[in-house]
Amino acid sequence: MSESLPSGLPSTVRDEEDLARFLFSRRDLSGHIVKHGVFMPRHGETSVFRHGKAPGETLWELGRLAAGGRSLRGAAMFKARSVRAAALDVNPDEPPPRHAVIVGWATISSHPELARSQDKEKAMKLAESAEAIRYTS
C-alpha cells in the first residue's frame, strides 16, 4: 500500500490518473491540438497537476495558482499512462497540493542538441494523446 501525501493523494501516480499541464500562451495550441513544446522540460522536469477535467472550478483554481503573473489560457489533459508510454515517468512533488513532475528526460550534457531532439520526440508522443481545454474566466 502506498502512503498518502498532504493532499490525501497516494504517493505513487497510477496509470489511470488524470493529469493537467496548464497553458499560458496562445502559441501552446494549434487549433485544438496541443503542441509538443508545452511538455518540453525546464531544468530536467515538467510540472503537472494530478487533476481531471472535473470539477472545473478546482482545476482552474490550481491553474490560477500555477499562473503567477501569467495569463491562464487552458490546460492539456492526459493520463499518466501516456507519460509512461512516451518512455517518461511521473512522480508526486508536493507542495503545492496535487503537484507532480514528469521526469526521465534526456541528459546528455556533452550533446545538448541531441538530448533536445530526443526530448522533442518524447514530448510529441505525449502531446499526441493530450486533449486541450480552454479557460474561460
Contact footprint for other proteins (CB under 8 A): 25, 27-28, 30, 33, 35-37, 40-43, 68-70, 111, 113-114, 116-118, 120-121, 124-125, 127-128
Asked if residues 75 and 47 have their Cβ atoms less than 8 Å apart, the reply is: no
Using the minimum distance from each CB to other proteins, give the nearer residue, 60 or 78: 78
Using the minimum distance from each CB to other proteins, give the nearer residue, 103 or 124: 124
Q: How far is the CB of 135 from other proteins (least distance, A)?
A: 17
Q: How far is the CB of 128 from other proteins (least distance, A)?
A: 5
Q: How far is the CB of 2 from other proteins (least distance, A)?
A: 31
Compute CA distances 53 → 1, 43, 74, 93, 132, whole Å. Answer: 27, 27, 11, 20, 10
Using the minimum distance from each CB to other proteins, give the nearer residue, 17 or 28: 28
The three-class DSSP label of residue 72 is: coil
Give Cβ neighbours of residue 120 (< 8 Å, ≥ 6 apart): 36, 40
Using the minimum distance from each CB to other proteins, give the nearer residue, 9 or 38: 38
